[in-house]
Amino acid sequence: METIKPTKINVTNNEGKLTSAEQGKLWATYVGNTMSQCVLSYMLNHVDDEEIKKLLENAIGLSNEFVQTITEIYEQENYPIPRGFTKDDVNVGAPRLFADEFYPHYLKYVGKAGISLYAIAIPLVTRSDVRAFYTQCIDLTVKLMNQINEILIRKGLLTKPSYIPYPDRVDFIKEQSYLNGFFGDVRPLQALEITHLYDNIENNATSKAVLLGFSQITKTDQTRKYFLRGKEIAEKHYNIFSQLLQQEDLSAPPMLDPLVTTSTFAPFSDKLMMFHKLDMFAVRIRAYGNALSMSARLDVAEKFGRLLLEVGKYVEDGATILIDHGWMEQPPQAADRKDLASK
């Protein structure tokens, strides 16, 4: 397997200060990748399969490079470097929590989130060094994602999205009944609906396994209850989406729970685990929104819209826990003009 090697970004501040979009995206990328450094360093300490180990090494190499480049930009700008996550948030010597076979699924899960973050940044950032950085982030993460899929396929760990018949001709929708989902003549799922159902089933299967592991190792009752609630949400959503596929004899990705060990010794801080799940459920809001926009059948659209609200409430409650414990780092924000005027 090829080692993914980033090229050096020429960091320069001769084009003016960082815009709000650049500050926000760089901050999110920095914090997210410091979390990944912690999680991947632990996984690398508990892996036997050489191909999967190489995947993890490529992944942590990207996180290290991304964090280093953003640090250089911050230093040139005399910008305060976020705290993010450090070695204090991980114990790489803690017992194994996941089987080797889980790691490619996990890397795919977080890689989707990374691609989403970086892709949205590219049209919004204007400084040439920041644009070059996010272009490279996309290119390198896509290379990693291709390696992940190759490993999943080669090792028989991937259930592919279902095959459907090729159309025999180009056609156009002629009746409003195409939108039916609850009553009347309900058509079969179309390809984009199947795609987004599959994607979100896959995400919920991986998320449930992570939450199962976190619920075993967390140190406080409050965070344990939060992770168990998240596990129930992930399982419920997995079942709802899977049923839609199974009703039409289409396959769904399997649960990954058996790939979680019985360890109860925490390798991660509660702060890291809470941020991890808050961040990934926040990404799920975007995934459900994308799925909703591509679902023409009313019953499918209704499910994504309804479940999106449930995910949003879970994220809000998680943010409250982070704030209560002093764990939520504040992103860059606009000046408080009212406060300035009152001084």
Neighbours of 204 (CB within 10 A): 26
Q: Residue 342, Cα to own-chain centre: how many angstroms?
A: 41
Same fold for the domain at 20-154 and the one at 185-324?
Answer: yes
Mean pLDDT of the chain: 92
Q: Give the pLDDT score at 301.
A: 92
Q: What percent of the chain has pLDDT over 70?
A: 97
Type of residue numbered 137: C
- pLDDT at position 233 over 70: yes
Q: Which among 169, 226, 167, 160 is positioned nearest to 195, based on CA atoms?
A: 160
Collapsed DSSP state (helix, strand, coil) of residue 171: coil
Over residues 55-71, the mean pLDDT reads 96
263-280 pLDDT, tens digit each:
999 999 999 999 999 999
Cα 14 to Cα 228: distance, rounded to the nearest angstrom: 49
Q: Give the pLDDT score at 159.
A: 87
Q: Give the pLDDT score at 129.
A: 92
Asked whether the beta carbons of 227 and 277 are under 8 A apart, the reply is: yes
User: 20-154 has which CATH code?
Assistant: 1.20.1260.10
Q: Give the pLDDT score at 173.
A: 74
131-162 pLDDT, tens digit each:
999 999 999 999 999 999 999 999 999 888 98
Q: Give the pLDDT score at 306.
A: 95
Task: Give residue 25's pLDDT band: very low, low, confident or very high (50, 70, 90).
Answer: very high
Model's pTM, two decimal places? Answer: 0.93
Break the chain into its structural domains and give their ranges.
20-154, 185-324
Asked whether the beta carbons of 179 and 297 are under 8 A apart, the reply is: yes
How far is CA 10 from each of CA 70, 72, 131, 242, rounded to the nearest angstrom?
A: 12, 10, 11, 47
What CATH superfamily classification does 185-324 receive? Answer: Ferritin, core subunit, four-helix bundle (1.20.1260.10)
Sequence-distant (6+) residues with CB within 8 A of 55 are 1, 103, 104, 107, 144, 147, 148, 151
Sole residue written with tokens 């899977």: 242
277-323 pLDDT, tens digit each:
999 999 999 999 999 998 888 889 999 999 999 999 999 999 999 99
